[in-house]
Structure 1
């Protein structure tokens, strides 16, 4: 390949990467978390909705945690989606202990809709309150202020969507370290653009919106047939800079149980990545420009290092190496600062190694997921 072209591609990658890291992701890294929210008179009732299928063990842990919240007016609705384990019996026992716990049982799913969207729609439809707070059965709130902080933009500021962060438990092993990195990378996309008033996605493990709005737009109209997208595609369709707020506060987060083997992780990510092809074109570009510049940076940089190494042109070799090192230091700094703001802890280990591996994740698994037709919830 022509040396001039290599330099051009490498330089283009560097410029775009610098814009993303400093200007876009910097919105999270340099974000000033507001002081703790004070209790207000506007303590509008909230309904927590959880769609669950065969989640007996997780619900047994989650339900008591949900009733530890420091918020006066809320109830919990569990949608029991065709469970074959002991979920129904557990809910009956729990409802005797927690008066504000309710359940809806689904016996079957119509052919023209996907299971989780159907479960969520029925749950939201029968919810007592207009403010809906969503999470999953394998999640837990990080603090007893979760309800108050996650719903504040909707209750107090007139927003239709409140977007929060949901991470994963830290455990030993390379897979978990990768999950921590990839989850933070994804969060930087949607939290940063959300803070820039151009939201394009969210995660259903920590999402709030109004029932009235959900019903007015006819729920998941147009995406009923897609397995997944009950969170990110719904937000992608209707979230705007005016009606959406990002909640960036460790006390407003939830934490999920991570996948513990590569097969389960691959199935999960195929579903997530597959849905991305249905985003609006401008939102695909938000992710695509970073991924393309990331690929140009690494492939161009490595190619230049090999070229100058073979030519024994050590002066230019060191220039390229210095640029790669400088970008790596910037990346580590931005990720560390961002993770501190999001999670209140230091960034996961092996960030630079995982950054390189992100090439294969995005371009290989992403391409496979884009074409996949065997996507399923459970």
Structure 2
């Protein structure tokens, strides 16, 4: 009976994994390049919105980069959220150089709301333009076409949301390589389901939507108290297959600075994963089915290898090992193709190894994040 269950779980795991890897993720990995559309008649104004708390150094780099954008009508709104560094003075200096730079300063956050959502809401309320493009202070656009390409679905196609990709700077070391892998996997989730007309999340480091829609639905109503989720929970609640577009173009991406210590990374991921508990049930299942089948595949596969190894049933041992090896080849191939389509770069090294380590990462950190009560923005 035990052997039968191992085979059953192994078979179920590989079956669901193949669906995800080749069919769902394949929608992104093996998609055709998107055609660039440019209609001068629809180049309406765009407001780039950045919420910043003690981001002096990053803003000093970011602001000039934003004004290098090749787009005719845009302004930049920086929400100075309770900063105690030199952010305010920097913004005053920058506004004398860049007339289209605007800022609003927050001195305190009301007790009943979370800081990031309050900062974003205030910034959106005072924005001049209806098309809002979000990024973070530590992000840099990958090209001078970022505004044009990220906002095109909203400006030209009548979409409410445009979901883009934001990667991290590459560096040496295991942590950075893991960050590259996990970021790409997360992108495969939300970009792929978005391409299948079933969007469920986005990332605030590269997200576009209409101000009028945000105000109409009172976007953060119902989850003001949730730390984080100002991007993915808003998308999760209101994005549909009809009103949402996916932007797959390396020139439309942004790049962020990665965490450099495991402690910083864990704090960040706890906040990200914590918001997931508030997703709609059907959207939790999109991630849950992959993660459950991933666990079934690896745990039952290892169990079978041990069983046949002890019993010296080498023929069956090699069959199981061959299936595991074949799936690893598929993972490497999918990640390589997806990275090329999304980022225009090679996939993270050792994707097959990180795929195995993801088994512990998701279930351990996911459980901790789900139960955490000490989540903070800054």
Q: Which residue of 2 aligns with 1:320?
A: 320
Could you tell me whether the CA contact under 8 Å between 2:248 and 2:342 is conserved in 1? yes
Q: Which residue of 2 aligns with 1:220?
A: 220
Q: Which residue of 1 aligns with 2:291?
A: 291
CA distance in 1 between counterparts of 2:161 and 2:20 reads 25
Superposed, which structure 2 residues align to 1:1-378 within 5 Å?
Answer: 2-378=2-378
CA distance in 2 between counterparts of 1:103 and 1:358 reads 41
CA distance in 2 between counterparts of 1:115 and 1:210 reads 22
CA distance in 2 between counterparts of 1:112 and 1:28 reads 40
Could you tell me whether the CA contact under 8 Å between 2:194 and 2:241 is conserved in 1? yes
TM-score, reference length from structure 1: 0.99
TM-score, reference length from structure 2: 0.99
Task: Give 3-state SS (helix, strand or coil) of 1:41's partner.
Answer: helix
- CA shift at 1:30, angstroms? 1.1
CA distance in 2 between counterparts of 1:27 and 1:34 reads 13
Could you tell me whether the CA contact under 8 Å between 2:140 and 2:254 is conserved in 1? yes
Task: Give 3-state SS (helix, strand or coil) of 2:40's partner.
Answer: coil
- CA shift at 1:68, angstroms? 0.4
- CA shift at 1:34, angstroms? 2.2
Task: Give 3-state SS (helix, strand or coil) of 2:377's partner.
Answer: coil
Q: Which runs of 5+ in 2 are unaligned?
A: none
Paired residues, number: 378
* Root mean square deviation, CA, Å: 0.7
1:324-347 residue CA offsets vs partner (Å, 9 max, x unmatched): 011010111011100100000110
- CA shift at 1:35, angstroms? 3.4
Could you tell me whether the CA contact under 8 Å between 2:34 and 2:248 is conserved in 1? no
CA distance in 2 between counterparts of 1:166 and 1:126 reads 26
- CA shift at 1:118, angstroms? 0.2
CA distance in 2 between counterparts of 1:24 and 1:158 reads 26
- CA shift at 1:39, angstroms? 4.7
- CA shift at 1:210, angstroms? 0.4
Task: Give 3-state SS (helix, strand or coil) of 1:215's partner.
Answer: helix
Task: Give 3-state SS (helix, strand or coil) of 1:62's partner.
Answer: helix
- CA shift at 1:41, angstroms? 1.9
Could you tell me whether the CA contact under 8 Å between 2:47 and 2:132 is conserved in 1? yes
Task: Give 3-state SS (helix, strand or coil) of 1:75's partner.
Answer: strand
Task: Give 3-state SS (helix, strand or coil) of 1:79's partner.
Answer: strand
